[in-house]
Amino acid sequence: MERLIQGFEEFRRDMTSEHRELFARLASGQTPHTMFITCADSRIMPELMFNAQPGDLFVYRNVGNIVPPYAQHVSGVVAAIEYAVTALNVQHIVICGHSDCGAMKALQNPAALKGKPSVEQWLKHADVARYVVEKNRPTIHGAEGLRYLTEENVVGQLENMRTLPAVAAAMANGSLRIHGWIYDIANTEITAFDPLEGRFRPLDSRDANVPDATPHARFSTPLPIASAA
């Protein structure tokens, strides 16, 4: 805790004049362009990763970067999305999973959830990923299985997000685009879900305007692994 307090003192002391002016401008309101939903994992720092400034990103984090479907579960993330879309008019929402995710590992190994009833209950919202991978890649386990699970969870949460009326309405009039990404911690790389190709590929400028096509038949052919793309 002392490190936090000292850190805040250093932050105030070392602040540039540009930052001071920016905070003064932001004091009366925010107009972030993007909502960024990611895992609570301490190794992910969205503002650092995207070289973002205060006011750029509306960040929401929870265990497993999960968005429960509409009407099934009243949760903070659903309220935050509704606010981001209807009050802040964000143009993009990104759901970003990551490598070595403890939540995804727990889907692989449910015994790890013993004594954690709340986490267990929460991860039911990610069960679609476990089921899809189990049914379509039953022989794949370990690190490769974890990668499939992580990818499928992002795709599943994108689908859940479409069930939110505010999201559906904004997508229907073209004012909102949704994106599914995965951050590889060890290699500091991001792969983005391409719904037309039905796979994750390295993030590039095309992803600013990725079409909102519904992905289907992802497992009809051997699914390329993101890092081999």
Task: Report the interface residues with Zn ion, using CB under 5 A.
Answer: 39, 41, 101, 103
Distance CA 43, CA 163 (A): 30
Beta bridge mates, 58: 35
At 192, is the secondary structure helix, strand, or coil?
strand
Closest C-alpha among 36, 63, 70 to residue 190: 36
CB of 143 to Zn ion, least distance (A): 15
Give the residue with the Cβ less far from Zn ion, 106 or 166: 106
Is residue 161 classed exposed, middle or buried when 0-12, 13-18 and 19+ CB atoms within 10 A define those classes? buried
Does residue 19 have a known ligand-binding role? no
Does residue 39 have a known ligand-binding role? yes
Q: Which residue has the tokens 């990551």?
A: 98
Tell me if 107 sits within 8 A of 130, measured CB to CB. yes
Got the DSSP string for 52-73?
A: PPTTSEEEEEETTS--PPTTT-
Give the residue with the Cβ less far from Zn ion, 34 or 99: 99
CB of 65 to Zn ion, least distance (A): 7
CB of 133 to Zn ion, least distance (A): 17
Give the residue with the Cβ less far from Zn ion, 101 or 164: 101
Helix 127-136 × helix 142-162 angle, to 10° = 130
Give the residue with the Cβ less far from Zn ion, 146 or 164: 146
CB of 64 to Zn ion, least distance (A): 6
CB of 63 to Zn ion, least distance (A): 7
Give the residue with the Cβ less far from Zn ion, 107 or 178: 107
* Residue ranges at the known binding site for Zn(2+): 39, 41, 98, 101
